[in-house]
A = this chain, B = another copy of it.
């Protein structure tokens, strides 16, 4: 068990913590002082809630090795990822948008043009679709990948799409700018190992039943194989709550920003499954400090073969993109408080 102290913790704070631990019958040991103080507790896994409530403790992990790659080494530690001329993880919030699945090429170019005009940074579109049923539309595959690349080139947007196995990952690496590992594959550790050894930045979605620690460990699989360019994306978890498709767990955003140097995204479209809630939740994500959002936009949502009800119409994208930029600028003073 490792306790990471706040970056500005003084020696005095550290001593006070060790005393408090001793009073509670625990033997803590200082294992690092720079860039920040880290205290190790031997053996016994304590309750995270209790440990994180101790004065000076920023976070606690059931960690196996003192310095995990997904964790910050200092308060200011932040990974930025360059994609085309945009820097993900910097002050400007990143907007990734596009249809759930690549279908009609004309619709795709049309929606991509709208996105580009209104300041989106990446074009998304699924071509290999992990579908619950073998009888559902499984995506256009290689052909779709080329359509997506064409649309991106036509309007001047880099592209991101999802890999579902080694073969699709290889095809995507040949042509796309970012590869997505979806929620259903966050626990597919062989795919993570392969993407970690790959060339493309990885957009990693949280498994819909994954804990924060499992999510960070999935990122660790990527980082440990040598790929430093990893983005984390909250996209809703499975709960009893039935007014939205999944329950957007927005409170993971400040926690991830505190713990990790990796850029943090939110996908309100898959989380809510409902067009009318997407804008409110995208704005909430930005206000909570997220580095960016991924939203679904479709030229004609009522004809979409996949996830039409949650896709924004192109006309709704412009005001949303504007509000996101406005909120992010207001948030400037806020990020300090969050971190």
Q: Cβ of A25 and Cβ of B44 under 8 Å apart? A: yes
Interface residues on A, range: 35 or more
Tell which of B55, B130, B224 touches A187, judged by Cβ atoms closer than 8 Å. B130
Interface residue? A309 (CB, 8 A)? yes
CB-CB under 8 A from A135, the residues of chain B are: 64-65, 220, 224
Interface residue? A98 (CB, 8 A)? no
CB-CB under 8 A from A229, the residues of chain B are: none
Q: Cβ of B255 and Cβ of A247 under 8 Å apart? A: no
Q: Cβ of A45 and Cβ of B46 under 8 Å apart? A: yes
CB-CB under 8 A from A24, the residues of chain B are: 42-44
Q: Cβ of A277 and Cβ of B302 under 8 Å apart? A: no
Q: How many copies of this kind of chain does the complex include?
A: 4
Interface residue? A140 (CB, 8 A)? no
A319/B333 contact (C-beta < 8 A), A25-B26, A239-B237, A280-B253 known: yes
* Max count, chain B CB within 10 A of own CB: residue among A53, A249, A283: A283
Q: How far is the CA of A164 from the CA of B333 in the complex (A)?
A: 40
A251/B239 contact (C-beta < 8 A), A25-B42, A279-B334 known: no
List the 7 closest A-B pairs by CB distance, nearest first: A24-B43, A209-B209, A287-B287, A184-B187, A25-B27, A53-B309, A24-B44
